[in-house]
Structure 1
Amino acid sequence: MHIKTIILEGFKSYCQRTEISGFDPQFNAITGLNGSGKSNILDSICFLLGITNLSHVRAASLQDLVYKSGQAGIKKATVSITFDNKDKKSSPLGYESYPELTITRQIVIGGKNKYLINGITAKNETVHKLFHSIKLNVNNPHFLIMQGRITKVLNMKPPEILSLLEEAAGTKLYENRKQETMKTIQKKDLKLREIDSVIKQELTPTIDRLREERASYRRYETVTRELEYLTKFLVAYDYIRIKETISQKSDSVQSMVQELNGYKTKLEDLESKKKDVGVEIEELETEKNLKEDQELQELETRNSENQKNEAVAKNRCKRADDNLKTIIKEVKEQTRQLENSKKALAEKVQELNSISGAEYQDMLSKAEKAQNDFEEAEKNLQAVNAGMLRAADGHAASLNEQLRLAEGDRSTADTHYRQLGMKIEHLTKEVKTKRQDCEKSGAFNKGQSDDEVRHDKLKLEVNKLNELIDKIRTKQQQFGENMTCRRKIEMLHQEINSSNRDLMNLQFEYRDPRPGFDRRKVYGPVAKLVQVKDMQFAQALQTAAGAKLYNIVVDSDDTSTLLLNHGALERRVTMLPLNRIRGNPVPQNVLAKAQQLVGRDKVFSALDLIEFDRVLTPAMEFAFGGCLVCTDLDTAKRVAFAPGIEKRTVTLEGDVFDPAGTLSGGSRAQNAVPLLVKVAKLHQLETELQGLRKEHATYENRMTETMKLEKELRIENGKLQEAKHNLNELEFRLRETDKHRLRIDLEAMEAELQQLKGQLTQAKEKCKEAEEKVEQVRHRVNNAAEEQDKERKLAQRQLEQARKAMQETQLQLQNKDFARDRLNIDIQAIENEVTTISNALKQMTDAEDAAEKSIADERKELEKVLALLKESSKELEQHHAFLKELTKKIQLKRNEMESLKSKISATGTAIEKLSHEIDVAARAREDNEALLRKQLKSNPWIIEEEQEFGQPDGPYCFEKNNPSEIRTRHLVLSEEKQKLNKLVNVRAINSLTIAEDQYNDLLNKRKIVMKNKNDLQAYIDELDSKRLEILEKAYSRVNEEFDLMFNTLLPNSSARLRPPEGKSMHDGLEFKVALGGVPKDSLNELSGGQRSLVALSLILALLQFQPAPLYILDEVDAALDLSHTQNIGMLIKNHFKKSQFIVVSLKDGMFNNANVLFKTKFVDGVSTVNRHAAIKC
């Protein structure tokens, strides 16, 4: 590969695009005046090859390579070189197929540096590899010989000259690799020492300790192995069962498919028969239609009209019936509503009567009596003040008047007594006569009639039902307490919500900081965790704790951290962790001293005034511990500043004395309720609510019983009404018989006789009382003055009692009147409703009568239509007589068709059913196959051991090993393994395994390191051997070429490289020169030109040893005369025919031997290049 063309644009002195073409494949020379740009061409080649040491191209930075460093408006430099690549032997790797390679490098000031290969952008590394593959490494440039290289070679010492030979031979690379390998060996030695240290100091003691713990693990391993075997056995058993199920399902599907095919064949035969029968039916119907005439059509038309009329008439009848039913239904509904309203009215009336009944009348009587008593007491007092006295009947009168009245009452009582005696005597005679009549009629016979027996039973039944209903209603009244309880719960809820609003600052809401968080760890704010023993200390305790009442008590600092970081708190709070918080309670001796100073009933410890859970003691001591509560201001001041006490004190009103000298308080609202009082009220409400909820739950549980009682009450009421109805009918029937009337009359007369006798006894008592009253009045007449004063005091006392009684009864009566007014309003509304429903019911009754009349008319019309239809039907039947046989045949065929359809339907159903069963079986098989695949995926060992499943005497013999027993054994071993897990140090065993693995691994690594070390040492020995071999070959070859080159440049001379005296070649080399057969001891004996020829000859000899495709020489002949320069040109031309030389020289002797000469000029600040043909001598 050699250069064909170089294109420069913006590079150094070549500002314009300059194309240098026509390069010779062997020898090219460049000449020109100094500063004309000839060396810039060589710099462009080095630039393209990717040189990194810019000093070789006389630049400090890449910007210096741009024309005038970019100051002239040109901002980029481009170098493009075209290489001839036809010689495939010297082609770069990977580019053998390209006849030419055009490589371009471009730099932009402040921009990118890019390469192009054949117009395609390429990476720097790609281009460098391309040139390295053809021995053009510009950063280690054996092919580049610059000015000063000869002088440098001449000044080299023997080891440096040897280094040149090594570089030419390539053994320098061996030496570099040897050094790297030695470093690697040192690292391996260090690694071996580390491994030995770890084994000796760490692993060996650990393994010895862990091996001692292995004995307790033996049972665990045994159980584990057996458990693994049992697990595999059960998996194998399940696997075999699944496979058997799949096989059974497959056989079942195959059998059902065969059966399905048989059904499908049968269905095809039935369809064929159906088609044939259909054809026969069509033929018969065609024949029938041909025989039907116009008269038949007329008859059918008339009959059809009659049928339509019948349908219309029936429809009208049906509508009339439906209308009647609707009306009847509405009547029933209205009747039901009317009954309900009447029932409600009766209940309200009954309630009104109960209020307005005997109790109300009694209350009214009491109120009237109280009013009368009050009026009588006033009159009595007035009469007594007027000199009159109160008689026994309560009226005021003079004593003489009272005596006259008392004597009159006695006379009246005597008269009434005598009259009663006469009535009893007369009634006794009548009873005797009536009894005789009853005996004559047989009314007293022992045998009772059926009606009488039934009457007694019904009467007894009515009494029992009344008693039962009273009991049920009593229970219902007890259950009615549930509503009262519910209302109390609602009221308590409202009060609790109101209290919670007042205590909003005590609400602590948070989110669980992690799943499963135990909320019992959070106790809540301090204020809600204390109970004040006596509420008179509430304000003092609130002042003592202050803001600490709002602090949140938790069990530990971990809980508080969780809540603060992850609890999503809505406001800033202070946490009191019980495991961290500490209080400063008042010592008992200080408290005793304070109580001794002011008295035990005037100073208290704040902690003694509250109750709390003992678990919360640290938090309570923190909040209340350092404070004393005093009953008044003076006491608090004395205690706070007393020597030996000096504690913070708080009064009941909340005033604070601090030993530090501060006093606070006095700015509190007078009506403000202390926070702890509100909290106590909330606790009380919640406790009461909890009790009511329990009570309500009890009532709710008994609601079912209440519903049963209501149902039972309805049933018993129905029975009672029926029994009363039957009893009334029976009594009415019995009253119609003579015997019964006689007995009833006798019983009534006997009852009246007994009543008169009772009245006679009362009359006798009244006569006695009247006589005593006369005596009392006579006594009072005799003691008039004393009685007057006594009566006056009694009248005043009775007036006050009457006034108080009148006020109480009037208040009770007003309440009753209010209830009666409310019931009257309800009754009036229900009566209006009853009236409305009654009117509507009357209208509906009229509508019902009209509907019944409409039905009768429609039915008459229907009868007429039916008569016409009957007549037309009869004529039509006569006409159809002759078609009967034909119709019969058609019907037979149709029956056959229906039979075929039925069979086809049954066959189709069987096919669908069988298809569904096949699908179900197939899905079941697929499910089992999926389960089988899952088993195989979860247990890959099944594939290897499947052939042993179920084999006799094998590990998976299911006959000898009962799977159910295996499962039981598996469960037992699993439990045993869980127990052993808790006892055995499994981690230590695992650690032993890990330690042994680490130990073995380190041993293996040590062996590997030792092997690598030995391999590296062997590799070094091999490299040394190859290096010596190659170096000796290079030494021999370079010496030959060196002597030849020097003899060519300086005829009749010789030059060799020899080791220094007393040393070997590996210690260094030095020049040995002979001129005209005379050896020279050193180069100092030679002239400057001759020394330059020696150095140049060595350089060219080294180049000849491993030739590159391109060599660049920059004025290497500067120190030589013309004859020697010409010899160099001839040498290059004759000895380097396979490489391309580009030589910069100012001497004709050099470039006259070149095949192509390029001359540079510097015109108007820009370099130009001209090509010239070879100069022939």
Structure 2
Amino acid sequence: MVHMDKVELYGFKSFGFKNTTLKLSPGLVSISGPNGSGKSSILDAIVFALGEKSPRILRVPSLKSVVNDQEGSRKSTKVARASVHLDNADRKIPVNSDKVVVTRMINNEGESAYYLNKQKTTRSHIRDILDAAKASPNVFNHVQQGYIQRISELSPDERQKTIEDMVGLSYFDEKKRAAESELERADRGLEVALAKMNEVKNNILDMEEERNQVIRSNILNQELKYYSTIQSLRRLQSLQSKIDSATQRYDTLSDDIDKTSLTQSEVQEEINSLVEKRKTFLDNDNTYGKDKAHIANEVNVAVQNVQDLTVELKTTKSDLEINKRHLRETRQNILEIVSTRRDLRQKMHATHETMNLMYRQNTTITDTLNGVDEKRANVLSWQSEAASKKARSEGVLKLYRATLNTHERHLYHIDTSIKDDIDRAQSDYMRLDQLEQVISDMVSTRDRLKLWIDKNDSRIKHTHDRLEELDKVRHSLKKNISDIDTLTILSDQVTSRYDSKLRLARRVMHEDYSVGRLRVDAPELGVLGLAYELLSWDTTHERAIMAVGADWLKALVVEDVDTMLSVASIIRQMKLPRVRILPISALPNTQSTLDYALSGYIRCEDRFTPLKNFLFGHVTLCSSLQAARRVAQGRGHAVTLNGEYVGLGDSVILDGGSVVANLSKMISVSSDIEGLQRYIKQLKRLSEVYSHRLADTEKKIHRYNSKLSQMRQAKAAEDQNLENLESHISNTHKVIDDISCRLQKYNSDMPGKKTQSERLQALVYRVRELIATEEDQIPTDTTQKIAVKLELLNRQKTEFESLKADADTKLSNIKAEWQSLQSRSRTLISDGISLSRRQITLIQEGERLEESLEPLQEKLSKKQGTVELLREKEQNIIKMSSDFTKHIRECDDALEPLRAQHGNLTNDIAGLRRKQDSLKRDISDYRARHLRITDTLPPHTRDIPVDVDPEPFMDKIRAELEGMPPLNANAPASYARVSSGYRSMSERKNELEMDRNGIVAFIEGVEKDKRQTYLDAFDVVDTEIRSIFDKMSGGSAWLELEDEDDIFGSGIRYMVQFPDKQKRVSTSLSGGEKTLAAIVFVLALQRLKPSPFYLFDEADAHLDATNAERLANILSERAQDSQFIMVSLKEFVVKKADLIYGVYPKKGISQVVSYRDSRTSAVSP
């Protein structure tokens, strides 16, 4: 059991700067002594050494106050030191030593240093190792004075909080807060995931519709682009004609501009001649103008000089007036200073006389005081002689007492060591038996633990293999779902494209659609084929053939009329819009008589010759349009190789490269498209099945992962337990070896210690006899007579010192006044000198200003005469320049009509050029538009017909496009991405739900553990209260929960029932009863967190004799398991104590004596 062996003090509070040692033992230790002797300071020293840093708990205003302050003459640095020696034989303190010595030093600056086994360390390290043995000081193992009263006044809520703190329920609250924070984050994540899924789910159908609209829009835009190309080609033809017309007008305007420019040149020559003549007159006029400007400048300068001199003269007169006024003021100030200094000199003379008088009085008082000091010195010398005689005797006694203390301390150490060795040997024998049994149990536990770890490893391997199989299944399902989604998207795009084409064929290409439908089932209907399939031709004649027979080339060809009627009935059944049918047998079998018949350039089987002649035998192929028109005028039909077909009445049909549409393939594919749509639906259903399987697999994987994590955590915990167990077994073997060595050492050292104890007892008896003899020889004390004389002299000295202090004060005040008057006199002298100097300066300045007035007036008169001469010269120059102005005006009159004519010609040329520029811009614009249109055309446009008006078709397409809602170009990709994302969000939602459920289960577990821990602690305290209170008073006491349904939201009532009294709440008891109930509550709380030692500071102070005796019995009983050190003034604690210490003061320093038991006399350490 960890307990305190020894406490050492130096410089701590009232124990002074000497080493004080208290040997302690397990069990109950009592400390007694008078009030103020320092007994509670022993407990303060213990908690101080163990790291306490609260001045309130140490009962000092600040930490540095624990240093003893009664030896004021001590010259070295003051420090306080406290050491606690702890027995660590059972190694509960994690230090590999049987003894653990904790030392703390503090200087008078409040700086602390900690030592562990004489090695410097930190407070936190010491508290950590003490916490491991539950030996750190706290309010329940260190019960201070007044703490019992504070406990007795606890409210139910405070009582509940005390128990919660004892069992550490805050640990559960921290875990719960962390889990609730995780739960809040999980809820937010789940809420966001569900919101996103709902949003995507609502939008996915709209996105599918948007995707189909985008596909349809792309098809319509392609058709619109084709018709736009035709429209652009038509615009190119119109622009080319506009370019030719504008170019012709541009050339005409260029000729007009040249003629007008020639006339303008002739007028410009006449203007230039007149301008030269005018320039000559103007130069002469400019020469006189420059002279005039020079004279005007000189006049301005002269006028400015006159004005400056006038201003300077006025300024000088003003300065002279100001100078005279300042001179009068300065003379007045000098007179005032002379008068003030005369008064000040008289006052300084009176002050000097008073100061000399005070000097004479001060000298008289000083002489009297010196006489008193001489008498006092003689008395002090007499006192020193008497004290030296007494000091010699006390020195001898001090030497004897020091020797006695040394022998007694050695004797106490030897006796304590002998008793400690006996106690330790008994404890070691018991401990040895216990450790051997513990080793046997630990070896058995280790074997069972290894077997469990092996089984757990096999379960972990099996779970890991199963997880790998499930991961492969999950990967396969994800791949299948991804492939199905890709196929579905591609198939949707294909079906949408073919649906659009078929709808367009039904609405626009009626005949082509009907032929295409019938063409699919042609062999069964007896259809030989389409006309363009049965005939062939060269590409050279293709445009001519298309111009003549474009409509009939899409006709169905049958064998006879019966077949034609059969096909017609089927057409009516299918409700097809329009079809042309040609029966071969009904066609005339005649050859064309034309020389260049178009049928001669067409190839076919012999049986289809009537078909060829019927369609093209009546048309002549011509080399040009003129030749074709001549043939048509002869009531025939003709066509050119360029596709220009001329019929009767000169009607012309142009073919720009038309082709025969073949929709049969597209229509035949429609049945395959329908089958593809059915397969798409099946694939979507299969994807849903795979998704369900994937979700189930994910749940299994999560479950196995959780199980695997739990097994690994359990394995790690058990591995750590096994490692700890192995270490504990090894440490236990070492402890057994150490105990065996200690027992051998105890047996060998015991005889020598007993012999040494007997020798020290004899020495102590002899030294005490010497001390008694020396005390009888101390001389009679004469201190009282010396003290009376010294007191009389001290009183006289005090009176004269007071008189001298008053005189010094008055003299100091007079000196200060004298210095102030001197300072003021010096200031007045300085001011008078400054004013005299200023007076001289002002007189000199006035004389200088009067001298400068006359020269300024003379200079002003000269400047005014110069101004008048310059003005006369300026008038002569102005008169001469007026003749040149007349000639210049005549030239200007001749130039005016010529310049007007020149301006008109310039305007005409500018107008023509503007028209020309406008035409040029138009031509450039036409060509740019021509180029832009050409750049926008596709590469091959030669075969595109331009005679067809595209506007009707474009209007229909635009109408359909305008009728569409706003399109999203990214809809196809977004639809595929969102579909995939929706599945991922669903998986994420499932994971979040599982995480949330796990957190909720964890919080419930924490709440359950917290409640159970609290109830267990409540039961322990309640049981202890019932037992202790029954022993102490014979009554009953128990704890009650205020609200059992809300144990943490309500408090704890402490109910007490003394014998022959009603039960009451503890706070309503009388003073003594309340103290007894509080002590019982404290003792019960100590069971929650047992400590190896307890410190009680007068906990029984308010108990009567009966209850104090019962408390002593309980403490004695509990001292079997823990060490109790109690400061008490009650005899019952002293009787029950195994070791007793007495504390008493001597010369302000606390002294300690110890008692082994009631039969042993006091021994001074």
TM-score under structure 1 normalisation?
Answer: 0.31
Structure number with greater Rg is 1
TM-score under structure 2 normalisation?
Answer: 0.31
